[in-house]
């Protein structure tokens, strides 16, 4: 397995994505992200497809630009989910795509024309990881490791299956799905990064929780 020392990989990723029915304002997101970065988060993945609302992508672009400034202050990476135009406009470190869109990696890379920008993919199995690698992904998020709040009752990989897949994968991997400060120790064997959502988004003190995750 390729380890987290790869320059493309981060050790602790905060995925900025909304909870159904509980939207946060731009200022609330920035406050939470700053606190998480202070606690040791070293990458932010912005995934808010509906954030613009009636005002369109302008609000999302504005938030992405502010996150770029904020992450730069902490020498952290900023990745944008799906939207290469916004990633390019704000000088993000990369774009992340769904597994269903991995065939777009090559044309997206050609359009970006920036060798420093990475393109990662969401994957859920070894087969998907190998397909993503074949299409040119730089790294992948492998999920769900544990049960998640966003998909209650849905099957998860579990630690043993995750380990088996991670050991066989040719891509660098970030573990995603239900990871919290209470179960992250179960991944001590894993040298790649971990990504979290609700345990930082919903925390009163994201800095403290982030410290528990690192």
Q: What are the pLDDT digits (tens) for 147-202?
A: 887 777 778 999 999 999 999 999 999 999 999 999 999 999 998 999 999 999 99
pLDDT of 125 > 80? The answer is yes
CB 64 within 8 Å of CB 52: no
Give the residue from 193, 125, 194, 133 showing the smallest Cα distance to 165.
125
At 4 the pLDDT is 44
Cα(193)–Cα(81) distance, integer angstroms:
18
At 2 the pLDDT is 35
At 155 the pLDDT is 86
At 52 the pLDDT is 64
Please indicate, yes or no, whether the overall pTM of this predicted structure exceeds 0.85: yes
Cα(159)–Cα(199) distance, integer angstroms:
19
Angle, vertex CA 67, rays to CA 47 and CA 85, nearest 5: 60
pLDDT tens across 34-89, in order? 999 999 999 999 999 877 665 668 899 999 999 999 999 999 999 999 999 999 99
Residue ranges and CATH numbers for the domains of the chain are 12-213 (3.20.20.70)
């Amino acid at each position: 397995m390729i380890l987290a020392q790869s320059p493309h990989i981060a050790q602790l990723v905060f995925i900025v994505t909304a909870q159904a029915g509980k939207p946060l304002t731009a200022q609330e997101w920035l406050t939470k992200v700053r606190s998480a970065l202070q606690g040791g988060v070293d990458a932010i993945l912005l995934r808010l497809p509906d954030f613009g609302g009636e005002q369109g992508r302008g609000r999302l672009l504005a938030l992405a630009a502010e996150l770029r400034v904020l992450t730069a202050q902490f020498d952290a990476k900023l990745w944008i989910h799906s939207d290469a135009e916004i990633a390019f406009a704000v000088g993000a470190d990369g774009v992340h795509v769904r597994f269903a869109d991995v065939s777009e990696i090559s044309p997206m890379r050609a359009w970006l024309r920036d060798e420093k920008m990475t393109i990662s993919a969401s994957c859920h199995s070894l087969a998907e990881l190998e397909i993503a690698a074949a299409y040119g992904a730089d790294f992948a998020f492998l999920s769900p490791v544990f049960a998640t709040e966003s998909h209650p009752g849905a099957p998860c990989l579990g630690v043993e299956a995750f380990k088996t897949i991670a050991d066989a994968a040719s891509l660098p991997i970030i573990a995603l799905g239900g990871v919290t400060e209470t179960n992250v120790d179960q991944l001590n064997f894993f040298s790649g990064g971990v990504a979290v959502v609700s345990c930082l988004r919903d925390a009163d003190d994201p800095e403290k929780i982030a410290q528990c995750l690192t």
